[in-house]
Amino acid sequence: MTDQPAGTYPPSAEMAANAHADKATYDAMYAASISDPAAFWAEHGKRVDWIKPYTKVKNTSFAPGNVDIKWFEDGTLNVSANCLDRHLATRGDQTAIIWEPDSPDEDALHLTYAQVHEKTCLMANSLKELGVGKGDRVVLYMPMIPEAAYAMLACARIGAIHSIVFAGFSADALAARVSGSQAKVVITADGAPRGGRVTNLKDSVNQALINVMHDVKCLCVKRTGQQIAWRSEGDYWLHEMEDTVSADCPPEEMGAEDPLFILYTSGSTGMPKGVVHSTGGYIVYASMTHQYTFDYHDGDIFWCTADVGWVTGHSYIVYGPLANGATTLMFEGVPTYPDAGRFWQVCEKHKVNQFYTAPTAIRALMGQGNDYVEKYDLSDLKVLGTVGEPINPEAWNWYHTVVGKGAVPIVDTWWQTETGGHLLTPLPGATATKPGSATVPFFGVQPVILEPTTGAEIHDTAAEGVLCIKDSWPAQMRTVWGDHERFEKTYFADYKNYYFTGDGCRRDADGYYWITGRVDDVINVSGHRMGTAEVESALVAHAKVAEAAVVGYPHDIKGQGIYAYVTLMGGEEPSEELRKELEVWVRAEIGPIAKPDLIQWAPGLPKTRSGKIMRRILRKIAEDDFGALGDTSTLADPSVVDDLIENRMNKG
Ligand code: ATP
Ligand code: MG
């Protein structure tokens, strides 16, 4: 099988010389982090300011029935003070947040640390006025506007636990999360402009709150000024409250293990889980990964294109960058509005140095041609990152050659909502990259590959199986909100004494890790186990294919057959000839065993709102089991599913 589709890319000498870590530094730090984790993190925990310094560093157990994770447990601190107050003396006038609106015709904002601090304090005092205190839950349902960051930091400041619900989710999804956390307040905005269209968020909140049994107040930001409906009571404008409260809000002293936020997973594999993150370990790890993975230096402009509704937005738009005193760019819009050059136009305009996006966006933009990229000056780019799904080598190469002009290192970061920060990732000055591999572990992370059925650890360097993590790292999730048993059952029951990631993985002879897809997605064809990612990569490597998703379906002879959903490039027409061509193509790329048994032309694929393909739905369609599609509340466009059902391939 193709292990290294397009060779390796070592860091340039210049990058290695100037980076926070070159290969020798990475090796030494990684070895130290594994041989004595407590000593390593005792040292690096000091990168944030503590009110009361910790004396205990690590107290963690993955033992069956007794999973308990504590880091820096006797220390106290405040995350908002770490992201704002501690920078005021040295960089109060430096831009903390660059805000780029949906429309390029509207002005961008440059908000200094002093301004963000003031706005955060005003919002924090407004929340207090509404009765919110330490330990209370606040739900955010917001556009990508600076107030979303103020709201997160305001909650952190007063010790409230935020739970962000992506603003594209339905009123039902919002209601479930407000009820689930018994939130006191929902923070929202009147409207959310995105891709040239405006959604009325306040209306969705009103609709959601009808179905919530307890009293919930609503704090509303004026973004668009559009007409909205106000409930009979319990609704407040932020700008009106700001006029009545003080701009002085001392940060609450929080225990390291106090929860900072709840965040639901994407729901790619089932019902979303309310992941709970802590205060101390999370902020130490988010800031350290931000600095090392992106090789962030003072004065750099950092842009992560995620929404704050995803963990990526939490760790790498707000908490990591601001804890590091960085300038972070927040973008309200979408990659294709007003056209497919928007990302690159913003990179040029704000002289972006580190750019971090998802493979789904890269694939979409790749399909639009290179002109959109080549029009813009991207010479300030120093690091390009990806997250969210395996990046197929085809897209990696496009990112590398067309966007990065062959000179900018790519960091393919593997991590999860549950992990709080990057677990597998190259460091730009240290790690030679291989397209499609998330490469090697971050400091303190011990990945292991287990034999899927026996659970035995495979010690050979080259190995394939399920990816587990052997020991805790500071930003590990602490529990599932309100359901510690589900936490233990989901992550610690299948493979005793390990954290189970749910992902399949291969380790090559150099010790590099390659995510092969979700364990649930592994196909077993005539006794050969195959990750879906590999077959998809082969399909996407064909010039006429824009995107592909592969699942297994019951097959009389082989046990499982390969069912491929294929989206063609704009302008390409489906034909029997092309179907044959693709079969031959995959066969040649991977081998006869991987030849798709059925190929269905798919104008669109079912995706989560964060752009991940929901293979569990495709599997049900391939299995002819439409009655049991499961939770579809996090789907971006449910109509895609109807089309796929209608045009399902006959397996007769
Ligand atoms: P749910 O857990 O509810 O099914 P989800 O797993 O999609 O949803 P996230 O936490 O947003 O929710 O996604 C984490 C998953 O995304 C990883 O387990 C992995 O499958 C995939 N992933 C993230 N980054 C990468 C990457 N760089 N390479 C390969 N896969 C990745
Ligand atoms: Mg998951």
Give which of 623, 644, 619 is closest to 269, Cα–Cα. 619
For position 272, what pLDDT does the model report?
80
State which H helix or E strand residue 109 sits in: strand 109-112
Residue 463 and residue 268: Cα distance in Å, rounded? 26
Q: Is 609 annotated as a binding residue?
A: no
Is the per-residue pLDDT at 238 higher than 60? yes
- Going from the Cα of 520 to the center of ligand 1, the distance in angstroms, rounded, reads 13
Least confident of 25-29, 337-341, 643-647: 643-647
Top mutation candidate among 389, 410, 431, 468 for ligand 1, by most atoms within 8 Å of CB: 389
- For the CA of 608, the closest atom of ligand 1 is 7
- pLDDT greater at residue 155 or residue 651: 155
> What residues have CB less than 8 Å from 491, skipping those under 6 apart?
67, 418, 499, 500
Q: Is residue 490 within 6 Å of ligand 1 at its C-beta?
A: no
**Is 0.90 surpassed by the pTM of this model?**
yes
CA distances from 117 to 122, 151, 153, 322, 482 (A): 9, 11, 9, 11, 32
| pLDDT range class, residue 5, cuts 50, 70, 90 | very low
- For the CA of 264, the closest atom of ligand 1 is 3
| pLDDT range class, residue 651, cuts 50, 70, 90 | low
Beta bridge partners of 9: 433
Q: Is the alpha carbon torsion for 288, 291, 297, 303 positive or negative? A: negative
Helix axes 23-35, 37-44, angle to 10 degrees: 120
Q: Is 413 annotated as a binding residue?
A: yes
Top mutation candidate among 169, 356, 357, 414 for ligand 1, by most atoms within 8 Å of CB: 414
C-alpha atoms less than 13 angstroms from C-alpha of 324 in its C-beta half-sphere: 29
For position 650, what pLDDT does the model report?
66
Q: Is 390 annotated as a binding residue?
A: yes
Is the per-residue pLDDT at 3 higher than 70? no
Q: Is the alpha carbon torsion for 23, 28, 34, 38 positive or negative? A: negative
**Over 149-202, what HEC string results?**
HHHHHHHHHHCCEEEECCCCCCHHHHHHHHHHHCCCEEEEECEEEECCEEEEHH
Residue 598 and residue 582: Cα distance in Å, rounded? 11
E strand residue ranges, 298-435? 301-304, 327-331, 354-357, 383-387, 410-413
- DSSP-derived letter for residue 362 is H
Of the chain, the percentage scoring pLDDT greater than 70 comes to 99
pLDDT in tens, 239-253: 999 999 999 999 999
The pair of structure tokens assigned to 371 is: 């002109």
The pair of structure tokens assigned to 330 is: 């927040």
Top mutation candidate among 268, 311, 614 for ligand 1, by most atoms within 8 Å of CB: 268
Q: Is 540 annotated as a binding residue?
A: yes
For position 652, what pLDDT does the model report?
42
Predicted interface score ipTM higher than 0.85: yes
Residue 405 and residue 400: Cα distance in Å, rounded? 6
Cis peptide before 338 (omega within 30 of 0): yes
- DSSP-derived letter for residue 294 is T
Ligand number with the minimum distance to the CA of 469: 1
Ligand number with the minimum distance to the CA of 358: 1
Is the per-residue pLDDT at 507 higher than 80? yes
Residue 509: exposed, middle, or buried by beta-carbon count in 10 A (0-12, 13-18, 19+)? exposed
Backbone angles phi, psi at 98, to 5 degrees: -100, 125
| pLDDT range class, residue 15, cuts 50, 70, 90 | very high
Give which of 161, 94, 171 is closest to 127, Cα–Cα. 161
Q: Is residue 438 within 6 Å of ligand 1 at its C-beta?
A: yes
- Going from the Cα of 269 to the center of ligand 1, the distance in angstroms, rounded, reads 10
Q: Which residues of 19-34 are buried (b: 16+ CB within 10 A; e: fewer)?
A: bbbbbebbeebbeebb
Q: Is 194 annotated as a binding residue?
A: yes
Is the per-residue pLDDT at 1 higher than 80? no
For position 2, what pLDDT does the model report?
39
- For the CA of 518, the closest atom of ligand 1 is 20
Quick one: average pLDDT of 527-533? 82
> What residues have CB less than 8 Å from 150, skipping those under 6 apart?
116, 119, 120, 123
pLDDT in tens, 542-588: 999 999 999 999 998 888 999 999 999 888 999 999 999 999 999 98
DSSP line for 36-61: -HHHHHHHHGGGS--SB--S--EEEE
For position 523, what pLDDT does the model report?
87
